[in-house]
Amino acid sequence: MTAVARRNLLFSTLLLVLSAAWLFSHWPERGLWYDETVNAYFAQQSLGDIWEWCTAIDNQMPLHFVLLRLWGAAAGTSEFALRLFSVWCTLLAAAGIMALGQRIGRRAISGWVAVSVFAVSQSTLYAAFEVRPYALALALLAWSGVALWELAARYVNGQRPRDRAYWRLIGLYLLLALALLYTHYTAFFALAVHGLYVIWRVLARRPRRIALLAHLAIGLLAGYLPWLLVMIGHDPRAGTAYTGRVKPWPAFKTYVEFYAFGQHIAPPAPPHYAVIVGLVVLLALGVGVIALRHNAALRGLVFAALTVVLPLLGLVIMVYAVQAKLSGRHGWAAWLGVALVVGVGVGALNRPGWMRAPLTVLGLLVLALPASANLHPIYNSYLREAFAYIDAHAEPGDVLVLRDGTLFTAAGYYDPDLPWIGLPDEQLTDVDRFLFFDEATTSLPEFVDAKNARQVWVLSWQGDIMDPQHLIEGMLEYSGTNQLPPGAPGFGDVMVARYRLDVHPDEFRAQAVSLAQMPGIQAPGGGPAYLGGYVVGEGPYHPGDWVVLHTWWRRADTDVPDMRLSLRLYTPEAEDDVYWGWGDQPPVSPSFGQENWATDELIFSRFVRQIPPDAPPGPLDIRMVLYVLDQPGNPTEWVTVDTVEVIAWAP
What digits encode the pLDDT tens for the residues 28-38?
988 999 999 99
Residue 249: inside a domain, yes or no?
no
Return the ∠ at Cα 31 (arms to 25 and 36), rounded to 5°: 105
| E strand spans, 369-438 | 398-403, 420-422
The domain boundary, picked from 446, 480, 509, lies at: 509
Q: How many domains does the chain have?
A: 3
Per-residue pLDDT tens for 126-162?
999 999 999 999 999 999 999 999 999 999 877 788 8
Burial of 56 (0-12, 13-18, 19+ CB in 10 A): exposed
Residue 234: inside a domain, yes or no?
no
Residue 44: inside a domain, yes or no?
yes
Dihedrals phi, psi of 410, to nearest 5 degrees: -65, -45
566 with 636, same domain? Answer: yes
368 with 431, same domain? Answer: no
Confidence category of residue 240, pLDDT binned at 50, 70, 90: low
CA distance 466 to 458: 15
**Cβ within 8 Å of residue 612, ≥6 positions away:** 543, 569, 580
442 with 567, same domain? Answer: no
Closest Cα partner for 61 from 34, 38, 91, 84? Answer: 38
pTM of the model: 0.92
Please check the confidence at residue 244 and state whether its pLDDT lies above 80: no
Residue 86: inside a domain, yes or no?
yes
Please check the confidence at residue 574 and state whether its pLDDT lies above 60: no
Q: Which of 107-116, 200-209, 461-470 has the lowest mean pLDDT?
A: 200-209
Residue 250: inside a domain, yes or no?
no
Per-residue pLDDT tens for 282-329?
888 888 888 887 777 799 999 999 999 999 999 999 999 888 788 999
H-run or E-run covering 162: none
180 with 275, same domain? Answer: yes
The domain boundary, picked from 460, 486, 509, lies at: 509
286 with 405, same domain? Answer: no
Share of the chain above pLDDT 90, in %: 69
Domain that holds residue 435: 383-509
169 with 298, same domain? Answer: yes
H-run or E-run covering 621: strand 618-628
Per-residue pLDDT tens for 536-573?
988 899 999 999 999 999 999 999 999 999 999 888 76
402 with 450, same domain? Answer: yes
**Cβ within 8 Å of residue 649, ≥6 positions away:** 542, 543
The domain boundary, picked from 338, 372, 406, lies at: 372
